[in-house]
Structures are given as structure tokens and as C-alpha cells.
């Protein structure tokens, strides 16, 4: 008899997170999906995933950066899966004050200010630590997978994006934490990796397109790597692989899924 597989995906009801959720569901994972505010979209995601893949899906609403939301995730795991978790994927992200494209101030600084800094620190490294510290108490040895989602320019595989300094600092911290936890958890044979998607066609790009114009954004995509967008399920497929026995000997890796963007 096969064992039940459960996965927690933050920001799992749309965009890259939903692509991850679909791929995990197709691999037989039951899901706990976090979302921030769009209840109708979350319910649609649940209905589709349960109807298509015959898995159980539970929804948890809240800001990923809030400790209470992390507590709610693990209360859901306890209530519905007996406190057992197989995979954790920290994907949640957001814009600061809905500003998709940051601009430098009068002094040429791209830093968005300390309030924005604290927001992204809460969303990325603080949330990741809270999630992992709880998740590892729910995972069995040799049967646990942790994946974080980062962005281009947050490590030395690609030059930094000046406009991304404030969220990028948070994601860079997550990439370090992934390596830390990979080393810490290696004796238990629980893996911890980070994926770095390139330009992925999701609604998160809509504000950027609105601000810069579709022609300028298309020209930018056309200048990078394979000259096309990724799909959420292309990213999700790699994450699903990292949450499988086939990837049991991969840990501490930072894996670009970008069609060659990091080679630019």
C-alpha cells in the first residue's frame, strides 16, 4: 500500500504556485494551499484540482509573512493529515503597495525604505524559517522535501537587478537558508533546494505590462535566453521532481528554470 503524500504550497492558488500545485497533484500529492485574498480564485483552484486529480485540497487564507498564517497551515496539517507532511514549497510573494516597477529616488537610490524592507523580510526569510522549523517536525526521515522559489539576480549566477534590491535581499537570504537547512537536514535525508524561475507568464506580470507597455516587455523577453516566457507548469514540473524520490540525492542546489536567462 502506498503512503499518503502531502504538500504545503504557499501562494498555491495562482501563477507559479498553481503550476506547482497542479504538478504535485498529478503526482498524487494531497495539498494545503495558501492564498492571500482572492477567495473565488482559491475555490476554483480547489475544485479543479480535486476534480481532475482525485486528491484532497485544503485552503488557508492569510498573509504569508504573518506568524498566525504559518500556525494556521500546521493546524490544517494536524487536523486533516494527522500532523504528517511530505513536501513544503515556499512560493508566496507580493508587490509592495502594489508597485510592480520600482524607480530610484532623487538621490539615485533604488532602496524602497525600511517599511518595504521589513515587509519582504517577513514574506521571504522570516516566513521560510517559521515554515521549515515546523515542517521538519512533521516530516519522516528519508521522506521529506523542501523547495523555495527565488528570482533571477539574487545570487551570483546573474547580475543584480537594481530595481529589485528590497525584495531581492529577502530572496537572497532564503537562498542562503536553503543551503543551511540542506546541510542541517542531510543526516535525516530530507532535501532542501531552491528554484529560480525566469520570466514566467502569469498575472503577476500584468502591472508591469500596464506600466511599461506590452511591446517593451516582449522586446525584453525576446532578448533573453530562449526568447520566450516559461509556463507555470514548466516550473511546477521541476518542483514536483525535486519533491520526489527521483531527486532524493539532490540537496542544497540553486536551480535556474529560465531558458538561459542566467547566461546573459
Please report, for the chain, the start and end positions of each structural domain, with discontinuous segments joined by +: 5-263
Q: State how far the Cα of 22 lies from the Cα of 91, in Å rounded to an integer.
A: 14
Name which of 68, 59, 20, 65 is nearest 40 in CA terms. 59
Q: State how far the Cα of 22 lies from the Cα of 48, in Å rounded to an integer.
A: 9
Model confidence at 1: pLDDT above 60: no
CB atoms within 10 A of CB 234: 18
- Residue labelled with grid coordinates 504545503: 8
Task: Give the Å distances, CA to CA, from 7 to 20, 25, 167.
Answer: 10, 9, 25
Beta bridge partners of 89: 9, 147
pLDDT tens for 194-251 read 999 988 888 877 777 777 788 888 888 888 889 888 899 999 999 999 999 999 999 9
CB 10 within 8 A of CB 90: yes
Most confident of 61-75, 88-102, 190-204: 61-75
Least confident of 2-11, 16-25, 26-35, 240-249: 2-11
Predicted confidence band at 176 (pLDDT cuts at 50, 70, 90)? very high
pTM for the predicted model, two decimal places: 0.94
Q: State how far the Cα of 138 lies from the Cα of 144, in Å rounded to an integer.
A: 9
Q: What's the pLDDT score for residue 48?
A: 98
Q: What's the pLDDT score for residue 2?
A: 65
Model confidence at 154: pLDDT above 50: yes
The architecture CATH gives domain 5-263? 3-Layer(aba) Sandwich (3.40)
| End-to-end Cα spacing for the chain | 48
CB 166 within 8 A of CB 121: no
Burial class (CB in 10 A: 0-12, 13-18, 19+), 77: buried
Higher-confidence residue: 5 or 165? 5
Where do runs of H (alpha helix) occur along the chain? Answer: 15-26, 39-53, 67-81, 114-121, 127-135, 165-185, 206-212, 214-222, 232-242
Q: What is the DSSP letter of 152?
A: T
Amino acid at each position: 500500500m502506498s503512503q499518503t503524500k502531502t504538500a504545503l504550497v504557499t501562494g498555491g492558488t495562482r501563477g507559479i504556485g498553481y503550476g506547482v500545485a497542479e504538478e504535485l497533484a498529478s503526482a498524487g500529492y494531497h495539498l494545503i494551499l495558501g492564498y492571500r485574498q482572492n477567495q473565488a480564485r482559491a475555490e476554483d483552484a480547489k475544485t479543479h484540482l480535486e476534480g481532475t486529480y482525485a486528491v484532497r485540497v485544503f485552503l488557508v487564507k492569510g498573509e504569508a509573512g504573518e506568524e498566525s498564517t504559518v500556525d494556521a497551515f500546521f493546524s490544517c496539517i494536524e487536523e486533516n493529515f494527522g500532523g504528517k507532511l511530505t513536501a513544503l514549497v515556499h512560493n508566496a510573494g507580493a508587490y509592495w503597495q502594489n508597485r510592480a516597477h520600482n524607480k530610484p529616488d532623487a538621490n539615485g537610490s533604488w532602496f524602497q525604505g525600511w517599511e518595504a524592507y521589513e515587509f519582504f523580510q517577513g514574506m521571504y526569510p522570516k516566513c521560510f524559517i517559521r515554515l521549515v522549523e515546523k515542517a521538519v517536525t512533521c516530516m519522516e526521515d528519508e521522506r521529506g522535501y523542501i523547495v523555495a522559489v527565488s528570482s533571477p539576480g539574487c545570487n551570483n549566477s546573474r547580475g543584480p537587478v537594481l530595481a529589485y534590491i528590497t525584495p531581492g535581499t529577502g530572496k537572497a537570504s532564503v537562498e542562503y537558508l536553503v543551503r543551511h537547512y540542506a546541510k542541517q537536514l542531510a543526516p535525516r535525508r530530507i532535501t532542501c533546494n531552491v528554484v529560480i524561475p525566469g520570466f514566467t507568464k502569469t498575472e503577476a506580470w500584468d502591472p508591469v505590462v500596464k506600466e511599461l507597455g506590452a511591446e517593451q516587455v516582449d522586446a525584453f523577453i525576446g532578448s533573453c535566453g530562449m526568447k520566450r516566457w516559461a509556463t507555470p507548469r514548466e516550473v511546477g514540473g521541476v518542483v514536483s521532481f525535486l519533491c520526489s524520490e527521483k531527486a532524493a540525492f539532490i540537496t542544497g542546489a540553486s536551480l535556474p528554470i529560465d531558458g538561459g536567462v542566467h547566461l546573459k
